[in-house]
């Protein structure tokens, strides 16, 4: 059951990020006059996997900026009687951006994070299949490191989906 809940939650999150009102649509609205880093604003890669940035770069072709979506934790609180699972799924969206120079990297990552937050804000409510997103999230920003095209920064947006299934 854990695999089903995890994969379904991840798929529903990816669906919202890639849809017509997803991350790229929100990013286009946010950056109409001022694109992050002075470049055309678009998220090139949205994948459903939890893999370290350096490992992903060694094993596949990565296009930045990229979003990695995965389930961090499943908690069965048994809040609803007679349900097999009634609890929370903690989801994570990692925003990864890399560029040649360090200048503008942080502001570009902040722009991509804003787009992801707007997608989450716009998708509060029933996600069907016993899943409900009430809103709320946490954002953490990692330091700029060597990697990717030269420098890389990763930000993580964490949020909870309430799930009740038999």
- Cα 114 to Cα 95: distance, rounded to the nearest angstrom: 11
Per residue in 103-158, pLDDT tens?
999 999 999 999 999 999 999 999 999 999 999 999 999 999 998 889 999 999 99
Question: Residue 108 burial (CB < 10 Å; 0-12/13-18/19+)?
Answer: buried
**85-99 vs 66-75, strand pairing mode:** antiparallel
Angle, CA of 37, 48 and 97, to the nearest 5°? 15
| pLDDT on residue 146 | 92
**Cβ contact 50:70 at 8 Å:** yes
Q: What pLDDT digit, counting tens, does each position of 61-105 carry?
A: 889 999 999 999 999 999 898 899 999 999 999 999 999 999 999
- What are the tokens at 79? 């809040």
DSSP tag of 129: T
**Range list of H helices, 51-96:** 53-59
Q: How confident is the model at residue 38 (pLDDT cuts 50, 70, 90)?
A: very low
**Residue 111, domain extent:** 2-165
The answer to whether the beta carbons of residues 165 and 129 sit under 8 Å apart is yes
> The CATH number of the domain where 134 resides is what?
3.30.2000
- Asked if pLDDT for residue 39 goes beyond 80, the answer is no
Q: CA 108 to CA 97: how far, in whole Å?
A: 8
Closest by Cα among 144, 115, 110 to 46 = 115
Number of structural domains found in the chain: 1
Among the listed residues 136, 139, 116, 122, the one whose alpha carbon sits nearest the alpha carbon of residue 65: 116
């Amino acid at each position: 059951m854990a695999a089903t809940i995890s994969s379904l939650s991840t798929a529903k999150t990816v669906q919202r990020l890639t849809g017509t009102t997803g991350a790229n649509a929100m990013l286009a609205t946010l950056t109409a006059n001022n694109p992050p880093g002075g470049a055309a604003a678009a998220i090139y890669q949205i994948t459903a996997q939890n893999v370290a940035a350096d490992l992903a770069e060694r094993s596949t072709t990565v296009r930045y900026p990229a979003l990695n979506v995965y389930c961090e934790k499943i908690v069965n609180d048994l809040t609803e009687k007679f349900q097999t699972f009634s609890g929370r799924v903690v989801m994570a969206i990692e925003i990864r951006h890399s560029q040649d120079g360090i200048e503008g990297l942080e502001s570009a990552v902040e722009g991509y994070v804003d787009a992801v937050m707007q997608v989450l804000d716009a998708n509060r409510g029933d996600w069907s299949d016993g899943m409900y997103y009430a809103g709320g999230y946490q954002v953490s920003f990692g330091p700029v490191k060597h990697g990717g095209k030269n420098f890389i920064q990763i930000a993580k947006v964490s949020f909870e989906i309430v799930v009740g299934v038999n």
